[in-house]
Amino acid sequence: MLASVRNLRVYIFNRLSERMNSPYFTESVAVLGTCATETIGEGAVNKGGIRRLRSRMAQGIKSEDDSPNVKAEDLEQSISDAPLRTHAETSADETNCSETVSSCNNSTTKVKGEAVDEQAVLTSPRKPRRGRVKVKYEEEEGAELKRERWEPRDWRTQLSFIREMRSKRDAPVDQMGAEKCYDTEAPPEVRRYQVLISLMLSSQTKDHVTAGAMQRLREHGLSVDAVLTLDDETLGKLIYPVGFWRTKVKYIKQATALIQQEFGGDIPDTVEGLMRLPGVGPKMAHLAMDIAWNQVSGIGVDTHVHRISNRLGWTKKETKTPEETRRALEEWLPRDLWSEINWLLVGFGQQVCLPVAPLCSVCLNQHTCPSAHRSSPNKKLKSSPAKPAINGPDDKLASPTAQVKEEPADASLSQRRKNTAKQEVPGNQLTSEEEKTPSVLKKRSRRKGRAGAQQN
């Protein structure tokens, strides 16, 4: 056993000596040694390589099967660690360092069986490996959200048609709306207060009634201090006949007192502050922010905007209240249209898209509106129902409309009225022509039969 171990040591030492004394190994060690001295120093590399080589040779526990692996490891370690060289070789390498480096840069080496330009490898940037994780940027995420956002079909075309139909600006809201009822020469805080009062009066009231009430209030002095000095009876007479005028008198007095006490005589400049006032809802708050403070905080949805939005299909699902409609519109409608949409739809609802019997036939959106002609179907002439006779529910006279149609076209109006009067009054004598009709003959036979039954 000891002999085999000793022979193995001698074999390994002889093989390493041959490899280290070969010309290829000497040239490679010279080049790598000069590069290593620039970074970590030649002495440290040589000492480390020799120390590891001696420790590996001292172990001597490798078998003959593992000898090729030991030779490969020692060869790689010797090349990377640059073994000890003589002082003469080191000095010669230092003098020829520049020539060696330049020759190495211009030469080509064969790596893994392929010829590669070493200069191109050293100068070209290292390409990162392609990852499998997909990176999403903010622009891509915004584009996906925009694609997922719901929008009604053909809403831009419908909006352009509504603008065209509202181009004349001749609706009642254009002449007597909240933005037309305040005094333009009054101080700013008084103008804002008058805008708020006009919005409070406009609820459940037509525009011309609201404009008349505002005119009377302005003549009497419409300001915070002036309203606080008025009694309820006088204020009621000034705003009558607006809808729910008694309740509005109470709300106006309470809101005015709160404005004087908590807001210094000026209306609040936030939606939350405006909704704290009695009688002020979300619609009035958003419109007051837009008209009085010139700030777009939301869409003012009244009964016209609520009705038309559902008719045009501008809500993802049918909404029941104006507040639901406001939230549905603000989800998809661009913010730069929030201020315009109330003015457009209110006037459109006053002139074309009426609450009852809308004028779909003159509307430019009749081909794209999903509710077109549903609320206003073609009216058909209906004949008046037949009237029952006095003798019993089964005795029915002929329809007056049918009887008139049987008359000649040149019959006078007076003659038609006489014929109708004869049919409506039972017991009148009928003419010979009228007796020939089957319906009259059947009715006469029924009367005779009933009269005979009563006598018996």
Contact 359, 165 (CB under 8 A): no
Rounded Cα distance between 14 and 17, Å, is 5
Active-site residue, from 62, 237, 253, 283: 283
- Whether the bond into 68 is cis, omega within 30 of 0: no
Q: Distance from CA of residue 236 to its chain's centroid? A: 44
CA-CA distance, 432 to 442, in Å (whole number)? 15
Sign of CA dihedral 267, 270, 276, 280: positive
Residue 339: count of CB within 10 angstroms of its CB: 20
100: Cβ contacts below 8 Å, ≥ 6 apart: 30, 31, 34, 93
Location of structure tokens 């502050």: 273
- Which pairs from 163-170 meet CB under 8 Å and 24+ separation? 163/344, 164/364, 165/348, 165/351, 165/352, 165/363, 165/364, 166/344, 166/347, 166/348, 169/347, 170/351
Rounded CA separation 366/158 (Å): 10
Instruction: Please confirm, yes or no, whether 168 is among the known catalytic residues.
Output: no
Which long-range CB contacts under 8 A does 406-414 form with residues at least 24 apart?
A: none
The span from the CA of 115 to the CA of 224, in Å, is 94
Helix axes 188-202, 245-262, angle to 10 degrees: 150
Active centre residues (catalytic): 283
